């Protein structure tokens, strides 16, 4: 009996000693990492892109241009399509005959409003350019694409040559001429392409007017 008790006591002491020497078991809960957003990489709001509309504010009217003229709140004067005559004039109700060629649209609106004010109190005029048929220049001779070029703004000789596809290899680039009809006379302007390309005598590169013809021999 004593032997049995000693054996039991031995195993009990051994078990207690082993339990005391062992490290406690620690149970930890896994923590999911939070999403850290770098402000520089965060999606930024996209600014709306403004549509680029044609700008007619600097366009000077020419014979052959087609206009849409409206008088606000006036029946019978809505969306009148008016063609600028060969002499540069237009005719509009209550305003009579007005010189339009050479004027920007804003000035023509003011002119019409001023003439109509004798008949209509504070007239509001709106003019739209439907077709700029009148503002055309011509490039002829030894260019790659000779012809007529309608333009919606004023351009110079170099730009006109570019529209015509540039000079051919056979062009006499130092003898280019610009022909401009003024009344019954024709003015001639000389242009040396090589000089202008080299940055010399830039005063030759004049602004063209409606109806000008660039001739490349």
Average pLDDT over residues 160-183: 93
Q: Compute the mean pLDDT over every residue in the chain, rounded to the nearest whole number.
A: 80
Q: Residue 192 in contact with residue 171, Cβ under 8 Å?
A: no
Query: Stretch 23-43: mean pLDDT, rounded?
Result: 49
Rounded Cα distance, 11 and 18, in Å? 11
pLDDT value of position 78: 79
* pLDDT digit string, tens, across residues 99-153: 998 899 999 999 999 999 988 888 999 999 988 877 889 999 999 999 989 887 7
CATH 3.30.1180.20 fits 66-131, yes or no: no
Dig out the tokens for 93 from the structure. 């109700």
Under the banding of pLDDT at 50, 70 and 90, the label for residue 186 is: very high
> Across the chain, where does the E strand assignment appear?
66-71, 80-83, 89-92, 96-99, 125-131, 136-141, 147-150, 176-182, 185-191, 213-216
pLDDT digits (tens, 9 = 90+) for 47-92: 333 333 345 667 788 888 899 999 988 877 877 899 998 888 999 9
Could you please state the CATH topology (level 3) that the domain comprising 136-216 is classified under: Outer membrane lipoprotein wza fold like (3.10.560)
Q: How confident is the model at residue 159 (pLDDT cuts 50, 70, 90)?
A: very high
Residue ranges of domains in the chain: 66-131, 136-216
Q: Characterize 15-39 residue by residue with b for buried, 16 or more Cβ atoms within 10 angstroms of its Cβ, and e for exposed.
A: eeeeeeeeeeeeeeeeeeeeeeeee
Comparing 66-131 with 136-216, is the CATH topology the same?
Answer: no
């Amino acid at each position: 009996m004593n032997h049995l008790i000693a054996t039991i006591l031995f195993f009990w002491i051994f078990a207690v000693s082993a339990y005391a020497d062992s490290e406690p078991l620690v149970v930890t809960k896994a923590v999911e990492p939070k999403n850290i957003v770098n402000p520089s990489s965060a999606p930024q709001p996209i600014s709306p892109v403004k549509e680029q509309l044609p700008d007619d504010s600097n366009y000077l009217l020419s014979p052959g241009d087609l206009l849409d003229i409206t008088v606000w709140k006036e029946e019978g004067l809505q969306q009148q399509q008016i063609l600028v005559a060969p002499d540069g004039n237009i005719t509009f109700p209550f305003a009579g005959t007005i010189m339009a060629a050479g004027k920007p649209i804003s000035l023509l609106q003011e002119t019409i409003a001023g003439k109509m004010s004798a008949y209509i109190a504070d007239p509001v005029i709106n003019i739209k350019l439907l077709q700029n048929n009148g503002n055309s220049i011509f490039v002829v001779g030894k260019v790659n694409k000779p012809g007529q070029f309608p333009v919606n703004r004023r351009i110079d000789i170099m730009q006109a040559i570019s529209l015509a596809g540039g000079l051919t290899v056979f062009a006499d680039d130092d003898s280019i001429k610009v022909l401009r009809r003024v009344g019954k006379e024709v003015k001639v302007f000389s242009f040396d392409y090589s000089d202008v390309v080299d940055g010399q005598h830039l005063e030759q590169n004049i602004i063209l007017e409606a109806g000008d013809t660039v001739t490349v021999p």
